[in-house]
Chains A and B, each alone.
Chain A
Amino acid sequence: MRFLRAAGRELLGLFVSDWVQSGVIVVILAGGWLAVSRVGAPALVLLVLLLAAQLVWFALAEGRRSARRSPRQFPG
């Protein structure tokens, strides 16, 4: 049972490490789907730029969180 739970966690962990970021990616894709169905190929540019932008945004956010945490982790 523990093995199955570990396998389940591993499987979920393949796709989700940060629920907020995963949610944002899914929302971008859903918006992209809507835009592609209405505008066609030009919407792909927006889709790709948004995906690239969220990568930068979430990496910076985690970098900031880590920078704030580090003084407490390494006092003095």
Chain B
Amino acid sequence: MGQQLFIFGAAFLGSAVETTEALTIVLAVGLTRGWREPLLGALLAIVLLGLLVLVFGQLIVTTIPEWALKLLVGTLLLLFGLRWLHKAVLRSAGVVAMHDEVRAFQDTVNQLGEAVTRRDWVGFILALKGVFLEGLEVVFIVIAVGGPGHAWTAAITGGLTAAAVVAAAGLAVRKPLARVPENTLKYAVGILLTSLGTFWAAEGMGASWPGDFLSIFALAGIFVVASRLAVTLIRRPAFA
């Protein structure tokens, strides 16, 4: 039960971050060019992403031995999670600018403003491309957290719930979701995915963790301490 909740939480938070970015693109297109094309583009992208989850999800679970699946997915999850965590540390330390949905929204609006003379399918393609590319990360998160632990239901439910919540919020306010603490979420998801990746990669190597799934919380604690240490060291006045 604890494992299912953890996987649901990881899939939900990771998907919420990426869905917010996709929503920003769809909103920018919809508000400047009308809603029909961007919604159709977003819908097609969601169908394609769903097919990717079904095809690759089935393929990896039925064809790859469990130890290899854990090692492979654990390694990829670790690379993915550490990448997010690395960026989150740099943002927290002020080295890299915080992600700004309002600015991303304005950039997309400006891009569309330059393309007003083009045909309507520009809005369709832009929404399709934006949702598909941002959605690739959602697909990876859902497959990676759901596959090795055989927790597809929790992972897919987490991803879909996040998409539904973010889409409903975005359509209700008709503005980019600037108040979503995206950088904090990325920090938390980076910790979760890095811990889960380390756990599965080591299990794939044949190791048994003391306390089984509970050891993920200890791993999360270690990565929180390491990342805070990095932020503190970078923020020191003498740092150069």
Contacts and interface: CB of A to CB of B under 8 A. Distances in A.
Interface of A: 3, 6-7, 10-11, 14-18, 21-22, 25-26, 29, 32-33, 36-37, 40-41, 43-44, 47-49, 51-53, 55-56, 58-60, 62-64, 66-68
B76 interface: yes
Interface of B: 71, 75-76, 78-80, 82-83, 85-87, 89-90, 93, 95-96, 129, 132-133, 136-137, 140, 194, 198, 201-202, 205-210, 219, 222-223, 225-227, 229-231, 233-234, 239-240
Contact of A10 (B71, B133, B207): B133
Given A32-B205, A37-B205, A52 B133 contact: no
A14 to B, nearest CB: 6
A62 B78 CA distance: 20
Given A7-B132, A48-B219, A62-B90, A56 B82 contact: no
Given A14-B137, A25-B78, A60-B233, A33 B205 contact: yes
A59 B84 CA distance: 12
Q: Which 9 A-B pairs have the closest CB atoms?
A: A52-B226, A63-B234, A59-B230, A15-B79, A56-B230, A33-B205, A36-B205, A59-B89, A36-B207
A36 B93 CA distance: 35
Contacts of B223: 51-52, 55
Contacts of A47: 198, 202
23 contacts: A7-B136, A11-B136, A15-B76, A17-B86, A22-B79, A25-B79, A29-B78, A32-B201, A32-B205, A36-B205, A44-B209, A51-B194, A52-B223, A52-B225, A55-B85, A55-B226, A56-B229, A59-B86, A59-B90, A59-B230, A60-B233, A60-B234, A63-B95
A54 B195 CA distance: 15
A44 B216 CA distance: 12
Contacts of A16: 79, 83
B79 A53 contact: no
B80 A14 contact: yes
Nearest to B85: A55
B167 to A, nearest CB: 21
